[in-house]
């Protein structure tokens, strides 16, 4: 089982403090796949943005420094998790997603050459089969991450989303790549993946009007990661990801800190 080394490493690291020489992660490097949340964070055209409001910043009466803030954010913006209930009645809510769907092996399908001149590109089964011909069959229980190259545009809203317009007018003008229903069906039915993610605002391409990929995958409790960063730093296979959102009871998603463990030899 590809996940066993990671589970063992996490168990050891949580049990004790170890030096770098004895680290269970020796042979791996960490890559942060998350965009920081701030006033530039990109949200769906109909959503409000991120706000961090200070409650107290400064020196207390007791003489020590203290800072506390209240943050405001929709669930779906910036680097975030889509829980299945987001598009599937009865699907897992954010707090119900099992760790086995959030801590997984990962493969990265690089389609940057295909998206360079096609903002409306959708991943095809043919592209997946071409990837497998070079790298081997996508393993069961993994996350499939799609590298479209769009993380390079963050946080330029117009280049990243295809438009700077807001509201329903902005939704109609969206242009960015995503998964196709054909590819999603193949990945679930033939490869039994547990998660998908990519470096655009949605797992469906920007011009989607029916969100078929969301609806299909989420009704089968596959989770989604959107607005992922730094996929250029991951190899095609051999990495593990840890994708942990805030555990909000009944939530349909939430801000996500997603990191990858990448073999040093890759």
Task: Give the pLDDT band of residue 5 (cuts 50, 70, 90).
Answer: low
What pLDDT is recorded for position 4? Answer: 52
Instruction: Read off the pLDDT of each residue in 127-142 and give the average, rounded to a whole number.
Output: 98
Instruction: Read off the pLDDT of each residue in 32-55 and give the average, rounded to a whole number.
Output: 97
What pLDDT is recorded for position 25? Answer: 78
Instruction: Read off the pLDDT of each residue in 43-59 and give the average, rounded to a whole number.
Output: 97
DSSP character string of 79-117: SEEE-GGGTSTTSPPGGGS-GGGTEEEEEEEE-HHHHTT
Give bridge partners of residue 104 from the DSSP assignment. Answer: 241
* CA–CA gap between residue 31 and residue 68 (Å, rounded): 28
Query: Lowest-confidence range among 23-32, 71-80, 84-93?
Result: 23-32
* CA–CA gap between residue 255 and residue 156 (Å, rounded): 19
pLDDT at 26 over 90: no
Q: How many CA atoms lie within 13 A of 220 on its CB side?
A: 16
Question: Measured on CA atoms in the order 69, 75, 80, 85, is the torsion positive or negative?
Answer: positive
What pLDDT is recorded for position 183? Answer: 98
Query: Lowest-confidence range among 18-22, 27-31, 126-130?
Result: 18-22
**Catalytic residue check, 80:** no
Task: Give the pLDDT band of residue 41 (cuts 50, 70, 90).
Answer: very high
What pLDDT is recorded for position 265? Answer: 85
What pLDDT is recorded for position 52? Answer: 97
Residues in the chain: 266
What pLDDT is recorded for position 152? Answer: 98
Instruction: Read off the pLDDT of each residue in 95-114 and give the average, rounded to a whole number.
Output: 98
Instruction: Read off the pLDDT of each residue in 231-259 and give the average, rounded to a whole number.
Output: 98
Instruction: Read off the pLDDT of each residue in 57-85 and give the average, rounded to a whole number.
Output: 98
Instruction: Read off the pLDDT of each residue in 240-264 and give the average, rounded to a whole number.
Output: 97
What pLDDT is recorded for position 18? Answer: 33
Q: How much is the pTM?
A: 0.92
* Residue 72: how many other CB atoms lie within 10 Å: 10
Domains of the chain: 28-263 (3.50.30.50)
Contacts of 7 (CB under 8 A, 6+ apart): 103
pLDDT at 12 over 50: no
What pLDDT is recorded for position 16? Answer: 36
Query: Among the options 80, 86, 175, 220, which is catalytic?
Result: 86
């Amino acid at each position: 089982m590809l996940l066993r080394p990671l589970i063992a490493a996490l168990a050891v690291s949580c049990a004790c403090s170890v030096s770098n020489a004895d680290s269970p992660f020796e042979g791996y490097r960490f890559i942060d796949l998350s965009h920081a949340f701030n006033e530039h964070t990109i949200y769906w055209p109909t959503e409000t943005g991120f706000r961090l409001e200070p409650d107290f910043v400064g020196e207390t009466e007791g003489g020590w420094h203290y800072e506390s803030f209240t943050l405001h954010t929709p669930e779906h913006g910036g680097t975030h998790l889509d829980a299945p209930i987001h598009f599937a009645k009865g699907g897992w809510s954010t707090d119900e997603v099992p760790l086995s769907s959030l801590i997984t092996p990962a493969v990265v399908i690089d389609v940057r050459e295909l998206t360079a001149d096609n903002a409306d590109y959708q991943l095809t089964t043919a592209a997946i089969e071409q990837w497998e011909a070079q790298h081997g069959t996508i393993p069961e229980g993994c996350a499939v991450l799609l590298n479209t190259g769009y993380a390079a545009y963050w946080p330029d809203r117009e280049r990243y989303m295809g438009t700077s317009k807001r509201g329903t007018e902005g939704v109609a003008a969206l242009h960015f790549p995503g998964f196709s229903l054909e590819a999603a069906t193949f990945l679930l039915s033939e490869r039994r993946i547990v998660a998908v993610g990519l470096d655009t605002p949605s797992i469906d391409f920007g011009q989607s009007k029916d969100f078929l990929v969301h609806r299909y995958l989420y009704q089968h409790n596959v989770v989604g990661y959107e607005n992922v960063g730094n996929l250029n730093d991951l190899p095609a296979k051999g990495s593990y990801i840890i994708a942990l959102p805030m555990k909000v009871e009944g939530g349909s998603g939430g801000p996500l800190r997603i990191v990858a463990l990448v073999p040093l030899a890759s």
